[in-house]
Amino acid sequence: MLPPLPPSPLRLQIDTDALAANWRAMDAMSGTARAGAAVKADAYGLGVGQVVPVLAEAGCRNWFVAHWCEVPEVIAHVPAAQVAVLHGPMADADVAFALATGVRPVLNSLAQVARWLAAGGGPCHVMVDTGINRLGLAMQDLGDPMLGRLDIDLCLSHLASADEDVAQNAAQLERFARTRALVRARRYSLANSAGIALGAAYHADLTRPGIALYGGVVRREMEGVVRQVARPQAAVLQLRDLVAGDAVGYNATFVAPHAMRVGVVALGYADGYLRCWSNRGSFGLDGAKLPVIGRVSMDLTAIDLTLAPDLHEGDWLTLDYDLRRAAVESGLSQYELLTVLHRRFARK
């Protein structure tokens, strides 16, 4: 028997009030449609166990994951019939799992349609490609008679460029209107987070916000509406006093210009704090901005503590991780910033 595991020197503070408020905001912006929630990739890195109960309490009743392996953790909190698997049934084992659990497969091809019907079928979802050229039935497939044999709960498509004001949005909307005329379903869905902000024409019956739930601002209409949810924090492992000329980290990319105090925190690229933050990122403490100095390494990052002279080993620092601002500073997308966060973070 092992003794109790010591606490992690990394923690991800999750503002559950902000999370619930973001879902309610997306639901309100969806007008007469209802908002679901994309909770794939462990709820964009925040943790299904932390996110799904909060959103269910707020009123969410439709959940989207990518892989079949993501299903068990979600249906531990909500009914299986509310959960959709976007990648669809690639093999008979996927079909058997869907039928046994009641989870809804998203059928993306005529081969998947045939596989589902051959097993007896049942309620399902169907994805149609209206221009992103990822998953989904091609427009020319929509006349296939097999589709008429399906019990389609949700017919959905996905916008490619909803975060931009481009002609592709209207083109996909027009194709989606043709899809609705050709595919008989109980409900229809097109808009992701950014698509919600495009207006009522894009809302259909169900919207599928993802990044906006977790603090991502992907269109100007969401500024001041979407609240920050995730705040990564790291403990200071060691304090070091440098003299002028001392180098910090791999390849000496930072050299102390004068005597200074440095903190080494338990955070690195193995945790999702990537090397692009080297000599660029910062931590916050009581309003003070503490810059990252030197290269981020696998498990450790050094910080200039000039503005935090009273900091001690074991104290906690909070990453500057407002998603929109951090995306500009790092060159990463808001999606990447969340989904790269590793499981060494204790979720709180």
Amino acid at 186: R
Q: Under 8 Å CB-to-CB from 123, ≥6 apart: which residues? A: 81, 104, 151, 152, 153
Q: How confident is the model at residue 86 (pLDDT cuts 50, 70, 90)?
A: very high
d(CA 113, CA 115): 5
Share of the chain above pLDDT 90, in %: 99
Of 87, 91, 128, the residue nearest 104 (C-alpha): 87
Residue 290 near residue 282 (C-beta atoms within 8 A): yes
Share of the chain above pLDDT 70, in %: 100
Q: Does domain 230-321 have CATH number 2.40.37.10?
A: yes
- The β-bridge partners of 290 are 283
d(CA 159, CA 170): 10
Q: How confident is the model at residue 24 (pLDDT cuts 50, 70, 90)?
A: very high
Residue 178 has pLDDT above 90, yes or no: yes
Residue 157 near residue 127 (C-beta atoms within 8 A): yes
d(CA 263, CA 314): 10
**Could you check whether 15-216 and 230-321 share the same CATH topology?**
no
Residue 335 is among the residues annotated as catalytic for this protein: no
Average pLDDT for residues 81-88, to the nearest whole number? Answer: 98
Residue 162 near residue 175 (C-beta atoms within 8 A): no
* pLDDT for position 343: 87
Residue 348 has pLDDT above 90, yes or no: no
Q: Between β-strands 151-156 and 83-85, what pairing exists: parallel, antiparallel or unpaired? A: unpaired
User: What are the pLDDT digits (tens) for 272-298?
Assistant: 999 999 999 999 999 999 999 999 999
Per CATH, the number for 15-216 is 3.20.20.10
* pLDDT for position 221: 97
- The β-bridge partners of 12 are 232, 347
Question: Phi and psi dihedrals of 102, rounded to 5?
Answer: 90, 0
What value does the mean pLDDT of the chain take? Answer: 97
The active-site residue, picked from 188, 202, 250, 269, is 250
Average pLDDT for residues 63-85, to the nearest whole number? Answer: 98
The tokens for 127 are 């994805």
Residue in the block written with tokens 């104290």: 315
The C-alpha R_g of the chain, in whole angstroms, comes to 23
One-letter-per-residue 3-state SS of the chain: CCCCCCCCCEEEEECHHHHHHHHHHHHHHCCCCEECEECHHHHHCCCHHHHHHHHHHHCCCCEEECCHHHHHHHHCCCCHHHEEECCCCCCHHHHHHHHHHCCEEEECCHHHHHHHHHCCCCEEEEEECCCCCCCCECHHHCCCHHHHHCEEEEEECCCCCCCCCCHHHHHHHHHHHHHHHHCCCCEEECCCHHHHCCCHHHCCCEECCCHHHHCCCCCHHHCCCCCCCEEEEEEEEEEEEECCCCEECHHHCEECCCCEEEEEECCCHHHCCCHHHCCCCEEEECCEEEEEECCCCCCCEEEECCCCCCCCCCCEEEECCCHHHHHHHHCCCHHHHHHCCCCCCEEC
Task: Give the domain ranges of the chain.
Answer: 15-216, 230-321
**Residue 199 region by backbone torsions, left for phi larger than 0, else alpha for psi between -120 and 50, else beta:** left
d(CA 13, CA 183): 43
Residue 250 is among the residues annotated as catalytic for this protein: yes
User: What are the pLDDT digits (tens) for 185-231?
Assistant: 999 999 999 999 999 999 999 999 999 999 999 999 999 999 999 99
Average pLDDT for residues 117-141, to the nearest whole number? Answer: 97
The edge-to-edge listing of strands for the beta sheet with 104-107 is 37-38, 63-65, 83-85, 104-107, 123-127, 151-156, 187-189
Torsion 273-275-276-282 (CA) sign: positive
Q: How confident is the model at residue 58 (pLDDT cuts 50, 70, 90)?
A: very high
* pLDDT for position 228: 98
Residue 342 has pLDDT above 90, yes or no: no
The active-site residue, picked from 40, 44, 202, 335, is 40
Residue 345 has pLDDT above 90, yes or no: yes
d(CA 272, CA 267): 8
